[in-house]
Amino acid sequence: MHSIQHYQDLINAELNCRLERIDEPKGLYEPCKYILRNGGKRVRASLVMLAAKMFSPRYERAIPVALAFETFHNFTLIHDDIMDEALIRRNQPCVHVKWNTNTAILSGDAVMILAYTFFEEAREYITAILPLLNKTALEVCEGQQYDIDLEQALLTDALTNEAMYIRMIELKTSVLLAACLKAGAVVGGASASDADKLYEIGRNIGIAFQLQDDILDTYGNVETFGKKIGGDIAENKKTYLVIAALQNLNEGDTQELMRLYAQKTDSAEKYTAVRALFDKAQVLEKANATMNVLYEKAYTILDSLSLAEVKKTELRTFIDELRTREL
Amino acid sequence: MHSIQHYQDLINAELNCRLERIDEPKGLYEPCKYILRNGGKRVRASLVMLAAKMFSPRYERAIPVALAFETFHNFTLIHDDIMDEALIRRNQPCVHVKWNTNTAILSGDAVMILAYTFFEEAREYITAILPLLNKTALEVCEGQQYDIDLEQALLTDALTNEAMYIRMIELKTSVLLAACLKAGAVVGGASASDADKLYEIGRNIGIAFQLQDDILDTYGNVETFGKKIGGDIAENKKTYLVIAALQNLNEGDTQELMRLYAQKTDSAEKYTAVRALFDKAQVLEKANATMNVLYEKAYTILDSLSLAEVKKTELRTFIDELRTREL
């Protein structure tokens, strides 16, 4: 992510100086600092800054809003990792693993409150952006709930369908990216129409990004993909690919896919057999097509913004980088 | 609580009409509605309303703020009940018991966000009251952490002392009551000095209330006390009483108290033996004295408020009722 790298240092420094003021009780705040300082790419904060800069040279005013959204994102990571029983996050043990579940619940709560606290520094924008943060925050919880519902549903359940899956990833991932772009635009003084366009760009690339994740997990290049190929198949995860496959396969192949998806194993045989069924159902083509429509939509909206082309370059490069990533 | 009864219906109705607008996904919002509709005495919301009414006849403007603080309180109940492994809350199964821990984590998060959402309706007061809610919310988390730290500490640890215990209950319980009174005063248009006085009243009665809880659990009247007498002793809970006893007992009695507090049993023998040591250390007198100082301080501050006596009656009656309660 070269396009946003220059924001990372700024965000890390601003976050750090605020975290230094927080100390006791250590049992509460050490885990908060652990997750907030354990980096990540600061994508959400960077999107706020980048969007503000599109509309105003004084984009530093967006820093508190950027910190609020980035911090909110980190809160979701702590609690989601408990629910998903994840072990590792950004190459480090998850909070509930390094400490325990109660600590992860409570420090997650504190991280969410910190997000709202950083917001206080953005006094002029509070009435405009607080409702956006609140709405988005509830939607992210809704997305997590739909994810749980989908994971618990059978492949044959009515719930397990493409529209539901897209809605889930929209809520779980893309509305936060969308809100970050919109919030930055608002701070930058964008018109309501341009701010809404930024939101739509974020919504589209967020969904596309998640579809790409599903594609890379099964069809990625083992050399460049960060994690093991086939993890989703091994875990029987309900991805876009398996849902799309079920729409396109005949009765016999559907039964076979369901039989394979009843086994929890990371064997090469299972991966090969499932992937063969995916290929037969042409899910890679379908997923790529759906993803491309979303990226194209984002570019079209970007083109339509009432801004000089030079102001759009950074966001355009960011989308290009997302789209061509291999991990 | 006759003094606040007339606010309960108003608060319940206002909360209900907002909850009706929230629906899907049911897996997320049913637990939210369950805790928020399962009543309680609405003490926090009532304190906001009562304080606003002291300073303004248009106290209905405080409704969104009252709902925000009441809803925040309910969020803490959901997550605290997970951490404390509680089973029953307000005579109903806790959220994590009726559903499961993951549901309780996620719907607790949503209830906290709802609290901030109700706040949006109080546009004029957001910049004044958002920092108060944020600060208080973090302090409540700090109080919960100190409670965990205290419960994990040995009776002989340096941490287990009276000042620490008072600080813990101040953060865990009383700052929220204090913030409710202050927030109501701000909405009612009180001067900064009067608003701060309301905060101090809440802080003092909150700590006193919690000490009273400790006293009643051991020395209460079994006929009028809501729960079984001696629960804290059976659970070896670190209350004000046991901490005060350790300060006043000789070496031999201290050893005996620690021996008894190593047994987890609700036997009558243990209760009688521990209570005898408490009596020897005169902890009831000490706890009552500490509590009375706090209540007196609250009355003194109430007297000093620049308001007609008639405006103070409702809060005065509320404090009287708290002080003379037997459950």
This prediction's pTM: 0.96
- A265 CA: distance to closest CA in chain B (Å): 25
pLDDT in tens, B15-28: 999 999 999 999 99
- Three-state SS for B289? helix
* A183 CB within 8 Å of a chain B CB: no
The answer to whether the beta carbons of residues B4 and B50 sit under 8 Å apart is yes
* B99 CB within 8 Å of a chain A CB: no
The answer to whether the beta carbons of residues A41 and A11 sit under 8 Å apart is no
pLDDT in tens, A20-50: 999 999 999 999 999 999 878 999 999 999 9
Show residues of chain A in contact with B120, CB under 8 Å. Answer: 130-131, 134
Per-residue confidence band for B55, with pLDDT thresholds at 50, 70 and 90: very high
Which one, of A20, A40, A10, A48, lies nearest residue A195 by Cα?
A48
Instruction: Decide if B144 and A110 are in contact by the 8 Å CB cutoff.
Output: no
The answer to whether the beta carbons of residues B238 and B155 sit under 8 Å apart is yes
pLDDT in tens, A185-195: 999 999 999 99
A 7-66 residues with CB < 8 A to B: 24-25, 27-28
Instruction: Decide if B126 and A131 are in contact by the 8 Å CB cutoff.
Output: no
pLDDT of res. B226: 64
Across chain A, what does the average pLDDT equal?
A: 95
Instruction: Return the amino acid letter for A143.
Output: G
* B128 CB within 8 Å of a chain A CB: no
- pLDDT > 80? residue A227: no
CATH architecture of B2-324: Orthogonal Bundle (1.10)
Domain ranges of chain B: 2-324
pLDDT in tens, B95-144: 999 999 999 999 999 999 999 999 999 999 999 999 999 999 999 999 99
Record the tokens describing residue A200, joined without a space. Answer: 């739509």
Per-residue confidence band for B225, with pLDDT thresholds at 50, 70 and 90: low
Mutate to test the interface with B, among A116, A142, A152 (most CBs of B within 10 A): A116
Cis peptide before B57 (omega within 30 of 0): no
* B327 CB within 8 Å of a chain A CB: no
pLDDT in tens, B77-86: 999 999 999 9
Instruction: Decide if B144 and A119 are in contact by the 8 Å CB cutoff.
Output: no
Question: Helices marked H in A158-262 — which ranges?
Answer: 162-169, 175-187, 192-219, 231-234, 240-248, 251-260
pLDDT of res. A225: 67
* B142 CB within 8 Å of a chain A CB: yes
- B164 CA: distance to closest CA in chain A (Å): 12
* B126 CB within 8 Å of a chain A CB: yes
pLDDT of res. B2: 74
According to DSSP, the β-strands at A88-89 and A92-93 are: antiparallel
Record the tokens describing residue B123, joined without a space. Answer: 């546009």
Whole-angstrom distance, CA of residue A162 vs CA of residue A214? 13
pLDDT in tens, A78-96: 999 999 999 999 999 999 9
Q: Using the 8-state DSSP alphabet, how is residue A171 labeled?
A: I
Per-residue confidence band for A287, with pLDDT thresholds at 50, 70 and 90: very high
